[in-house]
């Protein structure tokens, strides 16, 4: 008959670390928190997840040269809505919605849909830090997104429905007001953005 040996504390440690790593890969802080039930673990795991989300944002930028925010604040359950007019090589509008401590972002190649009946392509780009909502200025030549950024519209939004491939939000901005839909094309970064009747 086989007997089981209870691991010593020193042997048990790597097992705990493995569980945490697996949870980090899910990028779902609330899920981790509910699974592990430990409030001690909750905060660091959530911060880690936030950093992973902004990794692409940081990788693309040289903060010695651009005045764009580094993304040191984060967190909070706000409901920021902002659209920045970005006069880069190709003029576009960056739609940003605060979700899970970052700004979910989409680049819209044409003027955003103010009225019902206009459909716009919205290409999802890397998450941006919360502070980016206030950013206006000039990104120097040779840097990522070189050109000028100005706030085109801002306000708040209310989440009505959120699915993997569809977002319904009520936008309360200066130019955009009402219920808006973002529908994702299958397996792509491309979404369709329009105002609901
Ligand atoms: Mn942009």
Whether residue 94 is found in the same domain as residue 173: yes
DSSP 148-163: EEEEEEEEEEEEEEEE
Distance 196 CA to ligand 1 centre (A): 25
- Let me know whether 44 and 123 are in one domain: no
Question: Total structural domains in the chain?
Answer: 2
Residues of the chain with pLDDT under 70: 1-52, 73-77
CA of 37 to the centre of ligand 1 (A): 39
The Å distance, Cα 34 to ligand 1 centre, comes to 36
Residue-level pLDDT at 188 = 82
- List the structure tokens of 160: 């009505």
Owning domain of residue 100 = 73-195
CA of 104 from ligand 1 middle (Å) equals: 12
Same domain? For 97 and 176 the reply is yes
- Shared domain check, 137 and 78: yes
Same domain, 42 and 80: no
Task: Mark whether 187 and 133 lie in a shared domain.
Answer: yes
Residue 125 counted as domain residue: yes
Q: Do residues 36 and 88 share a domain?
A: no
Q: Is residue 131 assigned to a domain?
A: yes
Question: Cα(49) to centroid of ligand 1, in Å?
Answer: 23
Please report the pLDDT score of residue 13 as a whole number. Answer: 39
The alpha carbon of 14 and the centre of ligand 1 are apart by a number of angstroms equal to 42
**In this structure, is residue 174 part of a structural domain?**
yes
Asked whether residue 176 is domain-assigned, the answer is yes
Segment holding 51, helix H or strand E: helix 39-53
Does residue 3 lie in a domain region?
no
Q: Which pLDDT value is given to residue 78?
A: 86
Strand partners, 154: 82
Residues 156 and 83 both lie in one domain: yes
User: Across the strands, what pairs with 93?
Assistant: 85, 108
Q: Strands of the chain (E only): list them.
A: 80-87, 91-99, 102-108, 119-128, 137-139, 147-163, 166-173, 177-184, 190-195
Could you tell me the distance, in angstroms and rounded to a whole number, from the CA of residue 95 to the centre of ligand 1?
9
- Ligand 1 is an ion; its neighbours by CB within 5 Å are 86, 94
In a domain, 65, yes or no: no
Compute the half-sphere exposure of residue 104: CA atoms within 13 Å on the CB side of its CA.
15
**Quick check: helix, strand or coil at residue 34?**
helix
**pLDDT recorded at residue 43:** 36
- Write down how long the chain is: 197
CB 41 within 8 A of CB 19: no
């Amino acid at each position: 008959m086989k007997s089981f040996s209870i691991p010593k504390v020193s042997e048990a440690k790597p097992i705990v670390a493995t569980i945490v790593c697996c949870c980090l890969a899910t990028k779902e802080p609330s899920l981790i928190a509910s699974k592990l039930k430990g409030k001690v673990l909750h905060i660091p795991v959530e911060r880690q997840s936030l950093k992973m989300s902004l990794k692409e944002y940081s990788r693309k930028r040289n903060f010695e040269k651009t005045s764009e925010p580094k993304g040191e604040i984060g967190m909070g359950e706000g409901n920021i809505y902002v659209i920045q007019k970005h006069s880069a090589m190709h003029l576009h509008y960056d739609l940003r919605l605060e979700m899970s401590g970052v700004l979910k972002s989409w680049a819209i190649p044409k003027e955003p849909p103010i009225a019902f009946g206009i459909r716009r392509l919205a290409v999802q780009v890397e998450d941006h830090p919360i502070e980016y909502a206030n950013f206006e200025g000039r990104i120097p030549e040779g840097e990522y997104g070189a050109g000028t950024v100005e706030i085109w519209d801002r306000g708040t939004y209310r989440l009505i429905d959120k699915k993997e491939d569809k977002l319904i939000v009520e936008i309360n901005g200066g130019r955009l007001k009402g219920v808006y839909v973002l529908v994702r094309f299958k397996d792509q970064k491309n979404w369709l953005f329009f105002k609901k009747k």
